[in-house]
A and B are shown apart, each in its own frame.
Chain A
Amino acid sequence: MKKLLALSTALTVVGFAARAEVVVMSWGGAYGEAQTEAHVKPWSAASGIAATMVDSDNPAPAVKAMVEAGNVTVDVASLEYADAIRLCDEGMLEPIDVASLPAGADGTPAADDFLAGAVTECGVSTDIWSNVFAFDSSKITGTVPTTAADFFDLEKFPGKRGLKKGAKAVLEFALMADGVPAAEVYNVLNTPEGVDRAFAKLDTIKSDVVWWEAGAQAPQLLADGEVTMTTAYNGRIFAAAINEGKPFQIVWDGQVYENEMYAIPKGAPNKDAALEFIKYATSTEGLRAQAQHISYGPARKSALKEELIFKDGKTVMAPHLPTAPENMGNALETSSDFWVDHDAELNERFQAWLAQ
């Protein structure tokens, strides 16, 4: 028995020591799958270094827990923009030098090729995703909603509304629907009157809202006919429309978009390989490859030069991306500065408002 125990322990130890495998942590679902197919598998094949994908509800708290405990098992994490900045400020991520990233396919240096804000001190953008609203075109016929204000217009478009249960992106959306220009939204929201104004706008539909929490719930509510319109992550609506043939239509007016970032947790076991992985994944080709799996836009100018085709071989991606010029008419980029400061405060207010 003792011998067996010693043997198995030894084997486990050897097993751990031999592990030189890059572990990528992302969000699972259609998104995690896109990154597995576009980044993890091809990089592993090209570099000869084993790489695996692990799923998480949200990698940010996991990274924080690992770094604090001094037991980091993840080499690359896919983080929301504000989390990538906050964890970086708290010293929990490795800095990444933008000059070390590969130049675009057309030779433009990385610093110029990436869109503004797409590379931060510790993170590199993998895509730009957006909070939009969508409706079922088989249910709403005749006049269709075209603006954010239509979402709040219960007379013109009667029926329930789906909204994300949280302050972020919802308050901005409400203000834009109330006529605040995108450029002014955060100035307004930074004042107590502005916050009251956003909640007052939400009050107008409060009794007709079905709140959702997980990204997959939004298209489900729409498919079940529980709501006539819902806010959603644009990729989820795209997936339901293209993969499942649902008659969902996105309204881009008042969209709130942000970058999603790859970052390396401080003390990652395979730091150097992780950096190589990020270089590969955020190259022009890497970003294009991911955009062929899910309708989130690449954050490099060079990646948008040639037409992107979805993996089904026929759908042209450009009109489905948040960054398409025709979708950017009234669009707002999430302010990470605003939300790192006010996330807790406004969410408490939001929860209190919900409970009233």
Chain B
Amino acid sequence: MAEATDPVTQTALLTTADGRPLKTALAEAQAKARRRAFLLVVPLILFVIMTFLIPIGYMLKRSFEHDGFASSAPAMVAWFAANPDFDPTNPPEEAYAALVSDLARMQVEKTTGMAGTRINYSVPGTISLFKGGARAAKNLTPPFKEALLAVDAEWGRPALWRGMQSASHVYTAEFYLVASDRKLTDDGWARGGDKERIYLYLFFKTFLISGIITFLCLLLAFPVAHLLATLPMAKSSLLMIFVLLPFWTSLLVRTTSWIALLQEQGVANDLLVALGLITEEGRLTMMYNMTGTIVAMTHVLLPFMILPLYSVMKVIPPSYARAARSLGATSWTTFRRVYLPQTLPGIAAGSLLVFILAVGYYITPALVGGADGQLISNLISFHMSKSNWSLAAAIAAMLLASILLLYWLYDRLVGIDRLKFG
């Protein structure tokens, strides 16, 4: 910066000692500083890209891309491309000829499983159909339609042909349809039967339970956080340890201790029976159902509500409340009009945090959920382990989209800049 103030520059255009215009020199110096600052955050940017953006992008890609059939059945892909408006109830001989030639190729290239698995996602029962067809394919003679239907009459099912047509495209919305409880029938995609619909219901239930848990956490955390923020230092640090100790304990340990406490032969029931409050036969069912899920998850997530609340309450000057009281406000009015509004950023941050964590929770509902405490994440994990990753990705993407929608709503209603995590 020394050159900039050099008195040598007397002309209309200010220049530096070496004759460069001052403006350029300044811009260069600042650009250099900016580059250095940028270099400092490069590791962080790389980290976020590698561990966050790429995996999520990959997941999203997976949810609408699958080439299991398209890459292993070139003749069928070509035929479907040439005849987009064929009649699935009665495909012509050329279609069957293409199918038989592809089946024979799959047998040689060992891609039967890949192709069958892809079709099986929308038309159950096709993996073994493809295996049987591929084994028989090289011995089949024209007319292929009769020959293949003789191997297995299932090959004539309209739903199968619709499924293959859809799978002949690498990119497909099929997984989103399945994740919205649609089924591929002989007449095309339709709403699944009453006994099969599950995903949308579970989405609804997941959000409902998460909402209940968030509310309960807020109810329990508010007084605790207030106490923590107002007690003298020595006492509040001790209390803080009680909040943090469970927080540092393994999630599995906390979940299983709730099982030991709340199950029918557990501590809580034993105590109630011993006190004569309930009879031996009337033991309460508090575990392996929705109650168990809500209790355990509320406990596990409680610190995520307490900590942001505490950090906000800590800095609220007690003089405000005193001023309100001295001006004649009742204690309820003081709380409602003066104290509560100042804690809003903490409430907002804690609720958002707890809600988002609850929506994705998986281990606790799996262990204590029983029949009616299942959440959508348990189905994502099921499809991951059964290697239908595309469906798992589609459900996860829908979950992500609904969270982003909530976040957007939140931003509109409360304003994201008011968030305070402590």
Q: Tell me if A155 counts as interface (CB < 8 A to partner B).
A: no
Give chain A nearest CB distance to B127 CB in angstroms.
5
Q: Is the CB of B374 within 8 A of A341?
A: no
A347, A348, A351: residue with the most chain B Cβ atoms closer than 10 Å: A348
Interface residues of B in 377-420 (CB under 8 A from A): 379, 382-388, 391
Q: Is the CB of A60 within 8 A of B263?
A: no
If A213-B366, A352-B198 touch, whether A344 touches B388 (CB-CB below 8 Å) is yes
Give chain A nearest CB distance to B198 CB in angstroms.
4
Q: Tell me if A156 counts as interface (CB < 8 A to partner B).
A: no
B 193-209 to A, binary, CB cutoff 8 A, 1 in contact else 0 = 00111100110010000
In the assembled complex, the Cα of A226 lies from the Cα of B287 at a distance in Å of 10
Q: Tell me if A64 counts as interface (CB < 8 A to partner B).
A: yes
Q: Tell me if B264 counts as interface (CB < 8 A to partner A).
A: yes
Q: Is the CB of B384 within 8 A of A348?
A: no
Q: Is the CB of B120 within 8 A of A355?
A: no
In the assembled complex, the Cα of A337 lies from the Cα of B128 at a distance in Å of 6
Q: Tell me if A50 counts as interface (CB < 8 A to partner B).
A: no
Q: Is the CB of B379 within 8 A of A351?
A: yes
Interface residues of B in 201-235 (CB under 8 A from A): 201-202, 205
A 344-356 to B, binary, CB cutoff 8 A, 1 in contact else 0 = 1101110111110
Q: Which residues of B contact A88 (CB under 8 A)?
A: 113
If A213-B367, A340-B127 touch, whether A91 touches B110 (CB-CB below 8 Å) is yes
Q: Is the CB of B114 within 8 A of A352?
A: no
In the assembled complex, the Cα of A209 lies from the Cα of B369 at a distance in Å of 12
Give chain B nearest CB distance to A213 CB in angstroms.
6
Query: A341 touches which one: B128, B264, B379 (CB < 8 A)?
Result: B128
Q: Tell me if A276 counts as interface (CB < 8 A to partner B).
A: no
Interface residues of A in 48-101 (CB under 8 A from B): 58, 60-61, 64, 86-91
Q: Which residues of A contact B265 (CB under 8 A)?
A: 224-226
Q: Tell me if B371 counts as interface (CB < 8 A to partner A).
A: yes
Q: Is the CB of B366 within 8 A of A89?
A: no
Q: Tell me if A27 counts as interface (CB < 8 A to partner B).
A: no
Q: Which residues of B contact A58 (CB under 8 A)?
A: 385
Query: A211 touches which one: B121, B127, B288 (CB < 8 A)?
Result: B288
Q: Is the CB of A91 within 8 A of B113?
A: yes
Q: Is the CB of B384 within 8 A of A352?
A: no
Which chain A residue has the least Cβ–Cβ distance from B131? A89
Interface residues of B in 282-323 (CB under 8 A from A): 288
How many pairs of A and B residues are in contact by the CB < 8 Å rule? Answer: 100
Q: Is the CB of B114 within 8 A of A349?
A: no
Q: Tell me if B126 counts as interface (CB < 8 A to partner A).
A: yes
B198, B265, B379, B387: residue with the most chain A Cβ atoms closer than 10 Å: B387
Q: Which residues of B contact A345 (CB under 8 A)?
A: 124-125
Query: B263 touches which one: A211, A226, A344 (CB < 8 A)?
Result: A226
Q: Tell me if B117 counts as interface (CB < 8 A to partner A).
A: yes
Query: B370 touches which one: A90, A211, A349 (CB < 8 A)?
Result: A211
If A337-B128, A341-B125, A345-B124 touch, whether A211 touches B371 (CB-CB below 8 Å) is yes
Q: Is the CB of B264 within 8 A of A226?
A: yes
Give chain A nearest CB distance to B411 CB in angstroms.
33
Q: Tell me if A311 counts as interface (CB < 8 A to partner B).
A: no
In the assembled complex, the Cα of A199 lies from the Cα of B189 at a distance in Å of 26
In the assembled complex, the Cα of A89 lies from the Cα of B126 at a distance in Å of 13
Q: Tell me if A210 counts as interface (CB < 8 A to partner B).
A: yes
Q: Which residues of B contact A64 (CB under 8 A)?
A: 387
In the assembled complex, the Cα of A351 lies from the Cα of B15 at a distance in Å of 77
If A211-B371, A226-B265 touch, whether A89 touches B386 (CB-CB below 8 Å) is no
How many residues of chain A have a CB within 8 Å of chain B? 38
How many residues of chain B have a CB within 8 Å of chain A? 42
Q: Is the CB of A209 within 8 A of B371?
A: yes
Q: Which residues of A contact B120 (CB under 8 A)?
A: 340-341, 344
Interface residues of B in 29-70 (CB under 8 A from A): none
Query: B113 touches which one: A61, A86, A213, A337 (CB < 8 A)?
Result: A86
Q: Tell me if B112 counts as interface (CB < 8 A to partner A).
A: yes
In the assembled complex, the Cα of A206 lies from the Cα of B196 at a distance in Å of 18
Interface residues of A in 97-131 (CB under 8 A from B): none
Q: Tell me if B168 counts as interface (CB < 8 A to partner A).
A: no
In the assembled complex, the Cα of A160 lies from the Cα of B263 at a distance in Å of 12
Which chain A residue has the least Cβ–Cβ distance from B201? A355
Give chain A nearest CB distance to B340 CB in angstroms.
38
Q: Tell me if A343 counts as interface (CB < 8 A to partner B).
A: yes
If A61-B384, A341-B124, A341-B126 touch, whether A89 touches B196 (CB-CB below 8 Å) is no
Q: Which residues of A contact B346 (CB under 8 A)?
A: none
Q: Tell me if A342 counts as interface (CB < 8 A to partner B).
A: yes
Q: Is the CB of A86 within 8 A of B117?
A: yes
Query: B195 touches which one: A87, A211, A349 (CB < 8 A)?
Result: A349
If A91-B110, A352-B197 touch, whether A341 touches B384 (CB-CB below 8 Å) is no
If A224-B263, A347-B382, A355-B374 touch, whether A90 touches B114 (CB-CB below 8 Å) is yes
In the assembled complex, the Cα of A26 lies from the Cα of B114 at a distance in Å of 25
Which chain B residue has the least Cβ–Cβ distance from A88? B113
Interface residues of B in 90-132 (CB under 8 A from A): 110-114, 116-117, 120-121, 124-128, 131
In the assembled complex, the Cα of A349 lies from the Cα of B382 at a distance in Å of 13
Q: Tell me if B87 counts as interface (CB < 8 A to partner A).
A: no
Q: Which residues of A contact B387 (CB under 8 A)?
A: 60-61, 64, 86-87, 90
Which chain B residue has the least Cβ–Cβ distance from A196? B195
Which chain B residue has the least Cβ–Cβ distance from A90? B113
Q: Tell me if B372 counts as interface (CB < 8 A to partner A).
A: yes
Give chain A nearest CB distance to B185 CB in angstroms.
13
B 262-277 to A, binary, CB cutoff 8 A, 1 in contact else 0 = 0111100000000000
Question: Could you jot down 18 A-B contacts, CB within 8 Å?
Answer: A60-B385, A91-B113, A211-B288, A211-B370, A211-B371, A226-B264, A226-B265, A341-B126, A341-B128, A343-B386, A344-B120, A344-B388, A347-B386, A351-B202, A351-B374, A352-B195, A352-B198, A355-B198
Sample of 6 further A-B pairs with CB below 8 A, known A225-B265, A344-B120: A61-B385, A89-B113, A224-B263, A345-B124, A354-B371, A354-B372
Q: Which A residues are closer than 8 A to B by beta carbons?
A: 58, 60-61, 64, 86-91, 160, 165, 199, 206, 209-211, 213-214, 217, 224-226, 337, 340-345, 347-349, 351-355
